[in-house]
């Protein structure tokens, strides 16, 4: 069977319509479409979105297959409604050569749950000293266009300038993990009222903001575009807003957890809340939501960072930084953006699918839900309410900060080029 009729879906949250998939493509969108010869999925008022695209995922393979593999990570992605993920370069070995990015690309192809687009490291070994062979990674089978040392900041201003300039030759973009390293030595959490009380090393907002300010000015100077990973402070929002108003070619992402959680949670000393950049204050959270709504922040990216249980079942200082996010991202965005009235579903499609695909230059994803387009689609039961249960995750890791928290929305179907990867909330 190659035809699927999704009946009565609110396309981008609009009036119910039928969507007919034939093979890998959408054949028709309309009302009263014929179900003849098609398998029918009764959408029954669920919201239909283009398949989500995550510009910032840690799949951990090669090297840390105990926390995630390309296969388990893409299964988690499909469960969360994603049809494409960008795999970050901080693996072991680092994805800083054509060989490694091609390996990740091939594993993605084999997984079949969602497309995997590798990100290449900016510098050899993420060490920040010497440019990796960016051109070779671009020309490889993986076709890398996004480069990032994520996990580490490209802190050397000259290296950053050169990288921004160099990737222009093939239309690449550098995604910066903005963290001034000297200002964050020994940093354990956001520096402020809570860190002062808890006696945990502070990660000041200025360590992020100063790098972003520098990098937008560098991008302006050399006429390049720059992408800012996981922007987390109100001050960073102001800098990006200023840069955009000045015509600088900058884009920025925010994670779901920075849209919802604050550093008050660290009072529990539970390392499930330990993440980099750290959870900030209520004021930052509100500024980030507003910025995502008004387009200052372009996209939501998960920074899905799986870690084995033992790396979180310990004292705060010894714990790894990061949280899984692929399977809860859409729910958090519905909770923080849609249900607050800041963003409609068309806005969600833009921030979680169309724009990330555009920033990453990923063809075939983030397209409109209309005839002739690739059938990469996500069906969301937005009326659903339920507690997050990590035991049900497809990811190999369980380090979610939302365990037991009630969140809205559930992905019931995901289609990757016309093939269902998720059916009735279960992996196909």
Binding stretches for other proteins (CB under 8 A): 188, 191-200, 202, 204, 268-270, 310, 313-318
Shortest distance in whole angstroms from residue 315 CB to other proteins? 4
Shortest distance in whole angstroms from residue 270 CB to other proteins? 8
Q: Which two three-digit tokens encode residue 328?
A: 């809860």
Shortest distance in whole angstroms from residue 305 CB to other proteins? 19
Q: How far is CA 30 from the centre of its chain?
A: 31
Q: Which CB atom, from 199 or from 341, has the smaller least distance to other proteins? A: 199
Q: Is 66 a catalytic residue?
A: no
b/e string for 293-331 if b means 16 or more Cβ within 10 A?
beebbbbbbbbbbbbbeebbeeebeebbbbbbbbbbbbb
End-to-end CA distance of the chain: 15
Q: Which CB atom, from 197 or from 387, has the smaller least distance to other proteins? A: 197
Q: Which CB atom, from 308 or from 368, has the smaller least distance to other proteins? A: 308
Beta bridge partners of 174: 147, 226
User: Which residue, chain included where needed, has tokens 């879906």?
Assistant: 9
| Catalytic annotation, pick one of 149, 150, 298, 303 | 303
Q: How far apart are CA 125 and CA 95, in angstroms?
A: 8
Shortest distance in whole angstroms from residue 419 CB to other proteins? 43
Stated length of the chain: 428
Q: Which CB atom, from 18 or from 191, has the smaller least distance to other proteins? A: 191
| Contacts (Cβ under 8 Å, ≥6 apart) of 272 | 312, 323, 399, 400, 401, 403
Shortest distance in whole angstroms from residue 261 CB to other proteins? 18
Q: How far apart are CA 234 and CA 251, in angstroms?
A: 16
Q: Which CB atom, from 92 or from 269, has the smaller least distance to other proteins? A: 269
Active-site residue list: 303
């Amino acid at each position: 069977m190659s035809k699927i009729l999704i009946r009565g879906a609110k396309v981008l949250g609009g009036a119910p319509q039928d969507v007919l998939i034939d093979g890998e493509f959408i054949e028709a969108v309309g009302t009263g479409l014929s179900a003849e010869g098609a398998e029918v999925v009764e959408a029954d008022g669920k919201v239909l979105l283009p398949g989500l695209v995550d510009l910032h995922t840690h799949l951990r393979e090669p090297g840390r297959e105990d926390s995630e593999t390309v296969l388990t990570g893409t299964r988690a992605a499909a469960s969360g409604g994603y049809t494409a993920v960008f795999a970050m370069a901080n693996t072991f070995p680092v994805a800083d050569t054509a060989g490694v990015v091609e390996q990740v690309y091939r594993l993605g192809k084999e997984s079949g749950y969602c497309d995997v687009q590798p990100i290449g490291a900016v510098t050899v070994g993420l060490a920040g000293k010497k440019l990796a062979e960016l051109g070779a990674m671009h020309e490889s089978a993986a076709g890398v266009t996004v480069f990032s040392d994520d996990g580490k900041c490209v802190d050397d201003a000259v290296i950053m300038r050169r990288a921004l300039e160099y990737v222009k030759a093939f239309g690449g973009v550098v995604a910066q993990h903005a963290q001034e390293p000297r200002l964050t030595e020994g940093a354990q959490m956001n520096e402020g009222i809570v860190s002062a009380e808890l006696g945990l090393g502070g990660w000041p907002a200025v360590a992020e903001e100063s790098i972003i300010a520098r990098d937008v000015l560098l991008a302006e100077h050399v006429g390049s575009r720059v992408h800012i990973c996981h922007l987390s402070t109100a001050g960073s929002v102001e800098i990006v807003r200023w840069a955009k108003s000045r015509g600088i070619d900058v884009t920025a992402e925010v994670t779901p957890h920075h849209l919802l959680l604050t550093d008050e949670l660290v009072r529990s000393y539970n390392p499930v809340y330990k993440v980099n950049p750290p959870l900030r204050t209520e004021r930052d959270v509100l500024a980030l939501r507003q910025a995502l709504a008004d387009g200052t922040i372009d996209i939501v990216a998960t920074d899905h960072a799986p870690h084995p249980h033992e790396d979180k079942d310990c004292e705060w200082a010894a714990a790894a930084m990061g949280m899984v996010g692929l399977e809860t991202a859409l729910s958090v965005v519905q909770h923080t953006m849609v249900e607050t009235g800041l963003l409609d579903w068309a806005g969600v499609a833009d921030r979680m699918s169309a724009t990330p695909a555009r920033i990453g230059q990923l063809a075939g994803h983030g397209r409109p839900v209309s005839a002739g387009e690739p059938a990469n689609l996500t069906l969301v039961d937005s009326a659903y309410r339920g507690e997050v249960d990590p035991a049900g995750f497809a990811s190999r890791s369980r380090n979610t900060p939302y365990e037991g928290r009630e969140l809205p929305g559930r992905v019931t179907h995901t289609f990757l080029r016309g093939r269902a990867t998720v059916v009735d909330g279960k992996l196909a």
